[in-house]
Amino acid sequence: MTNQISSAPLGPQTLRRFSLSNGIKLIVHENHVSPSVVVRGHLWAGSVNDSLDKMGLAHFTAYATRRGTATRTYQEINELTESVGANVFISGGRHLTSFGGKSLAEDFGLLVNVLSDVILHPSFPQNEVDKVRGQIITGLKELENDTRGLANREFRQLLYTQEHPYGRPGDGTLESVPGIRREDLEDFYHTYYRPEGAAMVVVGDVVAETVYDMLERALGGWQPPGDAPAFEVPEPQPLAERRRYVRTMTNKTQTDIVLGSVGPDRAAEEYYAARLGDTILGHLGLMGRLGETVRDQQGLAYYAYSGLQAGLGRGPWSVRAGVNPVNVEQAIESILAEITRLRDEPVSDQELGDGQDYLTGSLPLRLETNEGIAGTLLDMDLYQLGDDYIIRFPDLMRAVTREQIQAAAQEYLDPEHYALAIVGPYQDK
């Protein structure tokens, strides 16, 4: 299958919007250059809805949903899709359960048939539920030996605490997952798998009206009884101190560090300035300022980069580094020095221009495949960015000033109040 796309600019003139009878939003982008078709969508059924004693339930439910329907076994689903080189998936996230698939355009009807069957009629066969539980538990046990993965998990818990849904592990724990039963999966499915607020994007060699007709027949009549549960993620509490977690693993050679604080959400006015600041701090070239100083100049880290996870809620703005155990404290000091510099000094004109070039140049790369287009369009709809967002994006980036980047760093990065997770062969002093 070729992934090459049409050269037509992606914007309001190339997108078709529909609404199914039950309110599911549908966006179609016709690309007749590629013989394939990609579907991406989401439902409001994420791990933010997990209770403390059932952490991992949303993830478990999504994983198990594809394991058999009222009319097809898991093996039959796989054989049917693989026979035409297609695929269908469902995966659980923090706020949303994502779904989708890919096929040749000529097999789009089959793709819709299987995908809608999995979404509407999962049977949760006990033998498959047990297999899924075993796979999740195996993954959690493997995580216990992964310093980078553990540092990420413990950092989130430290930053938000388990009282906040962002502080809980989405895939659950070794204590919670064994206690999740088949009935829990069914209850979660019937409560949260609903068309309200759902959205779908279809990109490929299709005709928009035909796509609408097929999806209306397959999903338009889906209307579960009752009302969708109301839920609002609480505002994270700002850190008033330094929070530090150390897990010593003597059988390792590298120590992994995650340090950071609560950043903006995607709708925040400071988002674009924060994104540019994050690009300069930990992405440009070989991982930005952090890569240049902490790794290259000082030789304190095997890797060092930053990340801004701005979404529906206020995600972390953090720095990650892998270091020699003897360099842990020095690396932390160097990372904090770079955070302080971003707060105290405006970035240079060169850095600002390079960051703007980097971000405006990276978006077209994401749009080189049907998958990339579909994911971008789904995000544009989710965050209400407007159908002309891709056209406006370069101007949005070019409008950010050095002063705005500094102000965003001062608002969201604090070298005095932060969460720090350290995992590896390191003893806390």
Q: Does residue 192 share a domain with residue 277? A: no
Residue 231 lies in a domain: no
- Whether residue 143 sits in one domain with residue 93: yes
DSSP conformational letter for 261: E
Q: Do 254 and 201 fall into the same domain?
A: no
Q: Give the C-alpha separation, 235 to 419, whole Å.
A: 17
Instruction: Give the model's confidence band at 286: pLDDT under 50 very low, under 70 low, under 90 confident, else very high.
Output: confident
> What's the pLDDT band for 26 if we cut at 50, 70, 90?
very high
Q: Assess whether 341 and 211 both reside in one domain.
A: no
Does 3 score more than 50 pLDDT?
no
Last residue of a domain, one of 170, 204, 219: 219
Write out the residue range of the structural domain in which residue 169 sits: 12-219
Q: Answer yes or no: do 215 and 255 share one domain.
A: no
Lowest mean pLDDT segment, chosen from 17-31, 72-86, 357-371: 357-371
| pLDDT recorded at residue 287 | 87
pLDDT at 100 over 70: yes
In a domain, 234, yes or no: no
What is the structure's pLDDT at 4? Answer: 43
Q: Are residues 52 and 169 in the same domain?
A: yes
pLDDT digits (tens, 9 = 90+) for 180-209: 999 999 999 999 999 999 999 999 999 999
281 CB-near residues (< 8 Å, 6+ apart): 288, 289, 290, 306, 319, 338, 339, 342
Predicted TM-score (pTM) of this structure? 0.94
Interatomic CA distance for residues 116 and 155, integer angstroms: 37
Establish if 4 belongs to a structural domain. no
Question: What pLDDT is attached to residue 108?
Answer: 98
Q: Indicate whether 104 belongs to any domain.
A: yes
The confidence score (pLDDT) of residue 2 equals 39
Mean pLDDT of 223-249: 91
Q: Are residues 340 and 198 in the same domain?
A: no
Instruction: Report whether pLDDT(390) > 80.
Output: yes
Same domain, 46 and 185: yes
Query: What's the average model confidence in pLDDT over 348-362?
Result: 96
Residue holding tokens 């000094």?
345
Please determine, for residue 7, whether its predicted confidence score (pLDDT) is greater than 80: no
Identify the helix (H) or strand (E) that includes residue 19.
strand 15-19
Mean pLDDT of the 397-422 span: 97
Per-residue confidence at 135, pLDDT binned at 50, 70, 90?
Answer: very high
Amino acid 49 reads N
Residue 284: pLDDT band with limits 50, 70, 90? very high
Residue 324, pLDDT > 80, answer yes
Q: For the residues 402-422, what does the mean pLDDT come to? A: 97
Do 208 and 287 have their domain in common? Answer: no
Q: Is residue 393 part of a domain?
A: yes
How many domains does the chain fold into? 2
Contacts of 380 (CB under 8 A, 6+ apart): 386, 387, 389, 390
Nearest to 391 by CA among 3, 17, 8, 5: 8
Q: What is the per-residue pLDDT for 428?
A: 80
Whether residues 181 and 282 share a domain: the answer is: no
The whole-number average pLDDT for the span 25-45 is 96
Return the pLDDT at 5: 44
**100: three-class secondary structure by DSSP:** strand
Asked whether residue 419 is assigned to any structural domain, the reply reads yes
Torsions phi, psi of 260, nearest 5? 175, -170
Residue partners of 21: CB distance under 8 A and separation at least 6:
216, 220, 221
Question: In this predicted structure, which of 22-36, 86-100, 222-236, 317-331 has the lowest mean pLDDT?
Answer: 222-236
Closest CA to 352 of 408, 308, 390, 307: 408
What's the mean pLDDT in 199-222? 98
User: Which stretch of 132-141, 224-233, 312-321, 377-386 has the lowest confidence by average pLDDT?
Assistant: 224-233
More confident residue, 168 or 9: 168
Mean residue pLDDT of the chain comes to 95
301 and 366 fall within a common domain: yes
What's the confidence (pLDDT) of residue 231? Answer: 80
Do 119 and 164 lie in a common domain? yes
CATH number of the structural domain spanning residue 29: 3.30.830.10
Q: Does 227 fall in a domain?
A: no
Residue 413 lies in a domain: yes
Confidence at residue 8, expressed as pLDDT on a 0 to 100 scale: 54
